[in-house]
Structure 1
Amino acid sequence: MARDVGDEMREPESVERDPESVSRFVENFAAQLVEAGVPRMPARVFAALLASDSGTLTSAELGERLRISPAAVSGAVRYLAQVHLVSREREPGSRRERYRVHSDQWYEAITNREAIIKRWEDALREGVTSLGAETPAGRRLAETLAFFEFIEKDVAEMMERWRVHRERVFGR
């Protein structure tokens, strides 16, 4: 039987799940993300995408699953795209967008944070110079800079170890 191009984007129909159980997972995981500082609606949308087998849903599908408005979906997706946790895709031959969570979304998000930390380090160096390294404020900035430089090195090494581990465990 020939498959339609859009078939791979739809949820498999053969997998039976208790919708209440899935909904509880989505809300519970979203609550954990909110505790960590992620805004509530983006947390819910992200958790719903994670819980979908395809990893992709349209705005209408997200709205239906989460019982939220298209505007709420749009704002949540905009936030998630900015922090590199989801991407937007066009359905072939359609104006409708799908939102996708990737299996490496955490890797991408952390990797993109490294660029932000580099900018913070530059600003902190300037602050140390401006305030004077021997002043209380300058020492505080210097310690913050040293902390970011320290974790930056460890994060880079950890990310390399993750790439090797992921290849070994998941074959990607």
Structure 2
Amino acid sequence: MHFVEEVGLMFELVGMPRMSGRIFGWLLISEPPQQSNNALAEVLQASKGSISTMTRFLIQLGLIERVSIPGDRRDYFQIKDHAWSQLTKQRLVQIGAFRKLAERGLDLMSAFPTQHKRRLQEMHDIHAFWERELPLIDERWEQEQENRRMSEGT
């Protein structure tokens, strides 16, 4: 359970609820990989309401998905395939929004001297850089994963 708590702390460090990280941490290592609301509440010693709220949050982020098991009426949750790649793509949208916001700020300050726009320019430049580079990195990542799958025969 120490690993699960570490994941919870890491999620909290990046601004997400600790409980969402604990759920995600457990789903990373649980066997079977699909876990019910009740099982999550029991193993994490958390209320069913908290588990329900945090699983909805993780579904919205695209990190987990709700699944069903034939013959069982309960809902189960598991890590979504390609969750990290999807999260990176979502971050790219946010990066683009920050770049556009900086552009609007720079437009508003067009008459000001360069030194007054330095912070906005940096905001723009870093987000423009990541907006340009992340798709290339993601493409390389996908190619690496494909090569690994091919070499493993899966």
TM-score by length of 2: 0.83
Distance 1:163 1:28, change over 3 A: same
2:96 is aligned to 118
Q: 1:156 to 1:106 in 2, by over 3 A?
A: same
CA RMSD of aligned residues (A): 2.2
Structure 1 residues 27, 124: closer, same or farther in 2, change over 3 A?
A: same
Deviations, residues 110-131 of structure 1 (Å, cap 9, x unaligned): 1111112222222221121123
Q: Show the counterpart of 2:54.
A: 76
- Between 104-113 and 120-129, the greater mean CA deviation after superposition: 120-129
Task: Name the structure 1 match of 2:21.
Answer: 43
Aligned twin of 2:77: 99
Structure 2 portions without partners, runs of 5+: none
**1:133/1:139 contact within 8 Å kept:** no
1:153 maps to 2:113: no
Shift of 1:137: 5.3
Count how many residue pairs are aligned between Structure 1 and Structure 2: 150
CA 1:73–1:145: 2 relative to 1, 3 Å:
same
Contact 1:26–1:44 (Cα < 8 Å) also in 2: yes
Residue aligned with 1:99, SS = strand
TM-score, normalization by structure 1: 0.75
d(CA) in 2 for partners of 1:57, 1:146: 43
* Partner of residue 140 from structure 1, selected from 108, 119, 124: 119
Rounded Cα–Cα distance in structure 1 between residues aligned with 2:73 and 2:96: 38
- 2:64 maps to what in 1? 86
- Partner of 1:38: helix, strand, or coil? coil
State the secondary structure of the residue aligned to 1:87: strand
**Distance in 2 between residues matched to 1:78 and 1:137, nearest whole Å:** 43
* Identity %, equivalent residues: 27
Structure 1 residue 88, shift from structure 2 partner: 2.1
The SS at the match of 1:100 is strand
| Cα distance in 2 for residues equivalent to 1:131 and 1:164 | 42
1: distance between equivalents of 2:29 and 2:143? Answer: 26
SS of aligned partner of 1:55: coil
- Deviation, 1:31, is 2.3
